[in-house]
Amino acid sequence: MIADLSWASLRVPRCTLTARLAIPRALAARAALPAPRPPWTILFTKAFALAAESQPALRRLHATLPRPVLLEAPHAIGCIVLEREHEGQATLALARFTEPHATPLARLAAQLHHAKTAPPTEWRHFHRLLRFARLPWPLRRLMLRWALASGTPLLRYGGTFAVSSLGSRQAAIVDSVSVLPCFLSYGPIGADGGVEVFLSFDHRVMDGADGAAALEGLELAMESLVAAELAGMAIPALTPAE
């Protein structure tokens, strides 16, 4: 499956931007929560989806059939690249979130946990990936070319952006093999809330100015709406007076 995606990604002309963001409010609000805290991948997924609400370029993908056109989703659809065990081996998979901008962080975190731990038969998206991987490779390549050309299968089974990170291992992913329009990654998060963020995007869909605006919107969403939601999660629920 990874070999097929790597092959397909060569057909996507990409540009990569990097910026150092400051997210001290989100860092402090998350640190104030008891364990288990929402993973950083969930926070970045929601922040990027929130930024996409006011930036249509982040919700578009390029299709070539029946003619070159930009398709625009009503809301950003996010995918988190995760590693899970399957038949005794580490396997990469995608956890898909259809409306992360409007989904509470606690529910997003629960969905991610389910994607990492549920048996394949109980996680429809992973079961679908396994079935795809068992098809003959010429058929897989043909299906991927059709998905890239028409665009609709990417929205239905993939999304508008993907998030992956090795920041917890003190490393950063600076390039991607994604077929989705946007691929977001970030490095280790410093004690001051500084973090290096990398955004790789389809140059047919957006340009450098759109990418820079996306990173600015990501930082703003993380420090405002996401930080506020984290702070709200730390407030204990009030019990009605007897």
Instruction: Note whether residue 198 is domain-resident.
Output: no
Mean pLDDT of 106-115: 93
pLDDT band at residue 37 using 50, 70 and 90 as cut-offs = very high
Name the amino acid, one letter, at 184. Answer: L
The larger pLDDT score, comparing residue 11 to residue 181, is at 181
Structural domain boundaries enclosing 216? 2-12+21-193+209-231
Instruction: Note whether residue 111 is domain-resident.
Output: yes
3-state secondary structure the chain: CHHHHHHHHCCCCEEEEEEEEECHHHHHHHHCCCCCCCCHHHHHHHHHHHHHHCCHHHHEEEECCCCCEEEECCCCCEEEEEEEEECCEEEEEEEEECCHHHCCHHHHHHHHHHHHHCCHHHCHHHHHHHHHHCCCHHHHHHHHHHHHHHCHHHHHHCCCEEECCCHHHCCCCCCCCCCCCEEEEECCCCCCCEEEEEEEEECCCCCHHHHHHHHHHHHHHHHHHHHHHHHHHCCCCCCCCC
The pLDDT score that the predictor gives to residue 239 is 44
Strands 194-202 and 182-186: antiparallel
The pLDDT score that the predictor gives to residue 107 is 95
Instruction: Note whether residue 142 is domain-resident.
Output: yes
Instruction: Note whether residue 6 is domain-resident.
Output: yes
d(CA 95, CA 144): 19
Tokens of 166: 């090795």
The pLDDT score that the predictor gives to residue 79 is 94
Name the most confidently modeled range: 51-60, 83-92, 232-241: 51-60
The count of domains in the chain is 1
d(CA 180, CA 13): 11
Instruction: Give yes or no for a contact between 60 and 181, defined as CB atoms under 8 angstroms apart.
Output: yes
Instruction: Note whether residue 118 is domain-resident.
Output: yes
Q: Has residue 240 got a pLDDT over 70?
A: no
Instruction: Note whether residue 58 is domain-resident.
Output: yes
The larger pLDDT score, comparing residue 170 to residue 81, is at 81
Strands 78-86 and 161-163: parallel
The 10s digit of each residue's pLDDT in 135-169 is 999 999 999 999 989 988 888 888 999 999 887 78
Instruction: Note whether residue 83 is domain-resident.
Output: yes
Instruction: Note whether residue 70 is domain-resident.
Output: yes
Q: Which CATH number fits the domain that encloses residue 56?
A: 3.30.559.10
**In the predicted model, what is the mean pLDDT of the chain?**
90
